[in-house]
Amino acid sequence: MMDRLNKWLEQTFLPVAGKVASWRYMVAARNAFFSSVPFILLGSIPLIIGFIQIPGWDAIVEPYLGKLLNGTNMTMGLLSLWIALAYGYSLAQSYDLNPLIGGMTSLMGFLVVAAPMRDGALSASYLDGTGLFTALLVGTFAIEVYRFFTVRNITIKMPPSVPPAISASFAAILPLLTVLLSLEIFSNWLELDIPGLIMQAFTPLVTAGDSFFAVVFLALLVSLLFYLGIHGWAVVVGIVGPIEMANIAANAAAHAAGEPLPHVLTEPFFAAWGSIGGTTAAGALVLLLFFCKSKQLKQVAKLSAIPSFLVNIHEPVMFGAPTVLNPYFFIPVVFVYPLCAATTWIAMNLGWVTKPFIYVPWSTTMPFYPYLATGGDWRAVVLMLFNLALALAIYYPFTKAYDNKLLKEELALEE
């Protein structure tokens, strides 16, 4: 029965995962996401310094808070700007177009609709996470226009004696002009608030992303892919990553303004309270392996401990035990992660634990990760430990059964 289930899962999910993940726009979005990570990371630091939970600290920091938070505004606060540039660069590269020209065209297109110049100033209101979807849509438009002109060879022809760098910049003029004019009609002449309209259109999606159903479903999907031995986040990060990033930037802005934090769907939401020792709470499994009797699992425990406990990497245990397509581990690997998402969602929505507003990389050692991501909320650590206990309880019977089976096989071999 399990064999048939395994086969069905592989044949159903693998090709779809491959199609989705290798889709050109998805690759470009992933690239844009990864290249923006350092900016988000850096932008979190002033938030940590500005809001250290020491009595009296707020009074000391108060006079400098505005200047301090400028570091956040210039990095995290310009998220859509970085995304527009990186997405255009990467998409152009995938078409074998000049990536730098592509990135600049995309960035210009984004600025034309999101921050048209008025009285000598660009408005920054859509340059943060709120302009994210605009950046991706305008970037796609800009690069497709660039490609259209290049593929059809519609360019201003230069005599062959002109150096290639100069003729390349002339080749960019017509697509650039097309992007500029077509977007200016709406943003400048009709004075339409395009990012506002796009945001309205996507609001249901972003709101739905914070719902109980969405986070549990997402965790379930990622877990299923991990059961197949596929890095689940690698498949969905093109869609989910930018949204998570915009959400954490919105949470950071709300925190700095002293308002309630709007979003739960962020990278730490899954990583700090679910990926304990690696996605699918694999750290719980590694812990249990140390108490196993079979030689194979003892060996795997030793090899997996450091990557799992120190940097939340669980590939060694995933391929070593292995948990991949292993019927013994189907239930814990597929269901522990969604369960962690469920408890975390409940705890955050009841206000028991602060929603994450500081971007900390997923490789941060437990228990510092949940503590830092929530700006130093000790209850976040309690929740992580609760989820770990839950994971231990669910992994335990299956690990024991598997250990007994391996032990029997090892003994039979020795005889």
Partner 1 sequence: MKILLLCFGGWSSSILAKKIEDCLKGRNIEAKVSTAPLEVGMSQMKDCAAVMIAPQVRHMSSAMHDLSKKTGTPVLDISMQEYQGLNIDKLVDRLLESIKAV
**Residue 92 Cβ vs partner 1, minimum distance, rounded to whole Å:** 11
Q: Is the peptide bond before 367 cis (omega within 30 degrees of 0)?
A: yes
> What is the 8-class DSSP label of residue 2?
H
**Residue 309 Cβ vs partner 1, minimum distance, rounded to whole Å:** 14
Could you give the CA distance from residue 223 to residue 233 in angstroms, rounded to a whole number?
9
Of 14 and 342, nearer to partner 1 (C-beta) is 14
Could you give the CA distance from residue 328 to residue 406 in angstroms, rounded to a whole number?
11
**Residue 305 Cβ vs partner 1, minimum distance, rounded to whole Å:** 13
Asked if 79 and 246 count as a contact pair (C-beta separation under 8 A), the reply is yes
Of 32 and 115, nearer to partner 1 (C-beta) is 32
Of 58 and 409, nearer to partner 1 (C-beta) is 409
Asked if 235 and 225 count as a contact pair (C-beta separation under 8 A), the reply is yes
Of 36 and 178, nearer to partner 1 (C-beta) is 36
**Residue 186 Cβ vs partner 1, minimum distance, rounded to whole Å:** 32
**Residue 162 Cβ vs partner 1, minimum distance, rounded to whole Å:** 27
Could you give the CA distance from residue 358 to residue 42 in angstroms, rounded to a whole number?
10
Sign of the C-alpha dihedral computed for residues 121, 123, 128 and 132 taken in this order = negative
Could you give the CA distance from residue 2 to residue 409 in angstroms, rounded to a whole number?
20
- DSSP three-state, residue 121: strand
Q: How many helical (H) and strand (E) elements, i.e. helices and strands, does the chain have?
A: 19, 0
**Residue 339 Cβ vs partner 1, minimum distance, rounded to whole Å:** 22
* Residues that bind partner 1 in the complex, under the rule CB under 8 A: 14, 17-18, 21-22, 27, 30-31, 34, 90, 93-94, 229-231, 233-235, 303, 307, 311, 313, 315-316, 318-320, 322, 324, 363
Of 101 and 253, nearer to partner 1 (C-beta) is 101
Task: Take residue 21 and report the two structure tokens written for it.
Answer: 């993940």
Could you give the CA distance from residue 347 to residue 343 in angstroms, rounded to a whole number?
6
State residue 339 phi and psi, 5-degree precision. Answer: -65, -40
Tally Cβ neighbours within 10 Å of residue 62. Answer: 10
Provide the phi-psi class of 25: left if phi over 0, else alpha when psi is between -120 and 50, else beta.
alpha
**Residue 233 Cβ vs partner 1, minimum distance, rounded to whole Å:** 7
Task: Take residue 107 and report the two structure tokens written for it.
Answer: 């960035």
Asked if 98 and 172 count as a contact pair (C-beta separation under 8 A), the reply is yes
Q: What amino acid occupies position 53?
A: Q
Q: Of how many residues is the chain composed?
A: 415
- CA-based R_g, the chain, Å: 25
Of 231 and 400, nearer to partner 1 (C-beta) is 231
Of 72 and 150, nearer to partner 1 (C-beta) is 150
**Residue 125 Cβ vs partner 1, minimum distance, rounded to whole Å:** 30
Of 278 and 356, nearer to partner 1 (C-beta) is 278
**Residue 228 Cβ vs partner 1, minimum distance, rounded to whole Å:** 9
**Residue 250 Cβ vs partner 1, minimum distance, rounded to whole Å:** 24
Of 29 and 249, nearer to partner 1 (C-beta) is 29
State residue 155 phi and psi, 5-degree precision. Answer: -140, 165
Of 46 and 316, nearer to partner 1 (C-beta) is 316
Could you give the CA distance from residue 316 to residue 313 in angstroms, rounded to a whole number?
8
Of 79 and 235, nearer to partner 1 (C-beta) is 235
* Range 173-179 contact pairs with CB under 8 angstroms and sequence separation of 24 or more: 174/149, 175/105, 175/142, 175/145, 175/146, 175/148, 175/149, 175/150, 176/105, 176/108, 178/145, 178/149, 179/105, 179/108, 179/109, 179/112, 179/141, 179/142, 179/145, 179/146
**Residue 330 Cβ vs partner 1, minimum distance, rounded to whole Å:** 17
